[in-house]
Chains A and B, each alone.
Chain A
């Protein structure tokens, strides 16, 4: 049975292999670790590379779903309450509001408190004056307003803490840029998962008792690789934009049936406005575009007029994995309308499970149900502990929190600890700590990976200066020692550009002009591209300095 074992393949062994480093996958990793089950978590890119890293960061009170989907609304309420208790580190319990403006459906607005009551969601009616006192940026044209217990959650910190905690509890590990290319299946069991390190090309064979597919929008593709045709997803692209200042105290939802640009969510020092929803054929290579941004903004302005003059620093897009029908083919165990857990037993696989669909707010419940199934299969009677066990915070996972780097830097009072990213006040010591302690840190860590675990490049210059400074620092530290460091820099600014491009107007155009002057005229990164492309055919190219 070694047909999938080409020369040079390294073999790793673990109890459970988890595919997908989003909130669900990392949630499963921690859920299992709390049951004393160890795992290897892999992601073809890095943590939160899919929908987990491209959403509002909204911890739903459930208010959003009361009118159409009572079950999901209740689920959100219960899970939101649990997370506020166990993951307070990652949550800003800022509250939220639903508002209707002139022209919105009055009847829909009038029914809202009753719907909330049915779902058990605390909801208080506010006069227009009260609403505007709480949220001064609201439009004067409000016809109805209700407060609800919405909150915000930092999905990056959540994911990092999940991994960090799992690693503390067990021998669990996380491997970034590791993509599944096949499964070795013998007699209804996956004996090994075949993985390729997309950065260095190394092949890995991961032997595990159980395999969990938490691939989110990629779950259907992964299931098919294992020969399972029961997972059926619809891909829905959603785009959001980020302003460079916080536009409101709490969450502001439009009181109407869900549409574009109807939720404004604060995220520390910034605000996020979104989203769009468009069905797409493939979840790969999506990026936000100008039309979507203009549409979201136009909608948002009718609720919060100040958005018209706000400065937007970035847009981003994610893909929601939506379950195709509620009428499952039979072997998927339907857990709720929002998400589904497939045990794949009717597809003749005994040690494979897929979980997909769902929401950030319900990730813990999804992980719990996976944990229950896997524990049962492994013969463990350990119960789920994530509803009561606090998510512990560690220094290696706190750098995504706005202002944390700055406070830590100030406390150190070390004059030799220099600020590398001025927009977000990230000093050398934060970067060094991430290199040392952050989950998924590696010997040659890319700028992108560092940015994911910190605030680097997230301020108004979007990495124009700090990308260059951090790169130099990494060369000085010996993390980079060849021209690959410049490639990381190039990859980072290229990636940032995709998000910046659709919001380039006003002062951001000047910012972009400066960034391009730095990256091209000063650093020559555009020429480096050509040099690389050209070098390929001529093997011993003598022009490596071009």
Chain B
């Protein structure tokens, strides 16, 4: 086979297909920028599906994230979220929401306060926007309504009994029931993805509804692990509500998560048009920056691919996604060796206690940016005027503990695209 280098010419190259990368892709498309995007699955299949703006600060839960941003500024003056005007954060969240809705996954509109979203442990987490398939759960919990939670024979890491045991004191009308998923071999292990795809077939929904019905009793709400389809979850959700005659909601479950797969497949199927090239399941191996933009290099089974662009957004994520790498004593950025702000030695990467409310220092490690979201060199100057950073690779934020993953990803992507657009003009 003759392998030849294929070249892609574009205005903007986006490295990464996590939430930050995908948001950058959406915002670029919205602005009419021609883009090419490369990334592998990364961490997106680990998401709960909830979009957090700011839900925690030094171990305290944050109920009003907008007010919380002011407290955040006091404790973390360099936090990427406090470097962005609230209006811009608003715009980023709303625009992303709107575009997702247009493509086919409904999310609740980001409001003034956090929703208390349900987790499979029965613990609640403050979040700004939830998939519409999960929204009824927030309401059922709030009203302590009679609710039936279903789980499935053979489904691991999701126990309705566990959820109920942890909530029964505050929600006495919550009950649990285990059922067999229709058409599966009895007792054998079932997987959320398989169940979700099966429910895209109307007759499976019919059968599932018939199985559940005898247990509904007085329940006004019905909860399920998140299995209501990979594509068109809202349609499946509405259909299940019609079939069952009660409000239905999903609860996230252990990864690989269906809400993450939905986002990934949505982008792979609905996002691409004449202006947008998406190369999923691949990783950029090398970048050469120049005065007019950059060249990005990687391979697929047919040979080498080269992307030439006028601007690049680096949204390569953290350790799990491969944007950062931890050597024995030192943390490095993997593609351009951008300086990484970090503690002096490995002993300071992690706190002594796992659940220390301060969070681990390593989670704040990342690249420094200027006000135009350009990564900085050791002298504090932009590395290249056409290179931008977005998402969790940016330093001074702790997406896990501060429950700010989507907030950081969406709003930094919004800013990065905004400033990239300026150099493209």
Q: A residues touching B (Cβ–Cβ < 8 Å)?
A: 287, 289-291, 294, 415-416, 418, 420, 465, 468-469, 471-473, 475-476, 480-483, 485-486, 490, 493-494, 497-498, 501, 504-506, 509-510, 512-514, 516-530, 542, 544-546
Contact = CB atoms under 8 A, between A and B. Distances in A.
Interface string B27-58: 00000000000000001001010000000100
Scoring A294, A476, A493, A509 by chain B CB atoms within 10 A of each residue's CB, the highest score goes to: A509
Contacts of A516: 360, 363, 400
Contact of B167 (A291, A476, A545): A545
A55 B350 CA distance: 25
A505 B328 contact: yes
Contacts of B119: 522-524
A64 B318 CA distance: 45
Nearest to B119: A524
A415 B166 contact: no
B326 A526 contact: no
B280 interface: no
Given A475-B159, A546-B61, A504 B354 contact: no
Contact of B355 (A290, A469, A526, A545): A526
Contacts of A473: 156, 159
A513 B319 contact: yes
Given A482-B165, A524-B124, A542 B355 contact: no
Interface stretch (B184-192, B227-235, B375-383): B184-192
B327 to A, nearest CB: 6
Nearest to B322: A510
A506 B165 contact: no
Interface string B158-184: 110110011101110000001000000
Contacts of A520: 355, 400-401
A316 to B, nearest CB: 15
Nearest to A468: B157
Given A513-B318, A522-B119, 15 more contacts: A415-B189, A465-B157, A469-B254, A472-B156, A494-B355, A497-B354, A504-B346, A504-B350, A509-B326, A513-B320, A516-B363, A517-B43, A524-B121, A527-B125, A545-B122
A294 B401 CA distance: 29
Interface in B277-329: 318-320, 325-329
B354 A493 contact: yes
Contacts of B56: 526-527
Interface in B345-365: 345-347, 349-350, 352-355, 357, 360, 362-363
Contacts of A546: 61, 123-124
A512 B48 CA distance: 18
B177 to A, nearest CB: 12
B60 interface: yes
6 contacts: A290-B347, A471-B162, A482-B166, A485-B165, A490-B355, A521-B405
B120 interface: yes
Given A289-B347, A472-B159, A545-B167, A509 B123 contact: no
B110 interface: no
A480 to B, nearest CB: 7
Interface residues of B, number: 62
Which 7 pairs between the two chains have the least Cβ-Cβ distance? A524-B123, A416-B187, A475-B162, A497-B354, A472-B159, A509-B326, A510-B319
B407 interface: no
Contacts of B254: 465, 468-469, 518, 522
Interface of B: 43, 46, 48, 56, 59-61, 119-125, 141, 154, 156-159, 161-162, 165-167, 169-171, 178, 185-189, 252, 254-255, 318-320, 325-329, 345-347, 349-350, 352-355, 357, 360, 362-363, 400-401, 403, 405
B353 A472 contact: no
Contact of A545 (B123, B154, B162): B123
Contacts of A518: 46, 254-255
A326 B346 CA distance: 41
A527 B327 CA distance: 31
Contacts of A529: 59, 355, 357
B231 to A, nearest CB: 23
Contacts of B154: 416, 418
Scoring B60, B124, B162 by chain A CB atoms within 10 A of each residue's CB, the highest score goes to: B162
Given A506-B328, A528-B123, A480 B162 contact: yes
Contacts of B319: 509-510, 512-513
A525 B120 CA distance: 11
A504 B325 CA distance: 12
A545 B403 CA distance: 17
A150 to B, nearest CB: 29
B327 A505 contact: yes
Nearest to A297: B328
A476 B121 contact: no
A172 B124 CA distance: 46
Contact of A472 (B43, B158, B169, B352): B158
Nearest to B253: A522
Nearest to B121: A523
A525 B401 contact: no
A514 B46 contact: yes
Contacts of A514: 43, 46, 320
B125 A506 contact: no
A471 B121 CA distance: 10
A81 B319 CA distance: 48
Nearest to A480: B165
Contacts of B345: 290
Contacts of A544: 169-170
B188 A416 contact: yes
Contacts of A420: 156
B188 A415 contact: yes
A517 B46 contact: yes
Contacts of B318: 513
Nearest to B331: A509
A545 B166 contact: yes
B187 A415 contact: yes
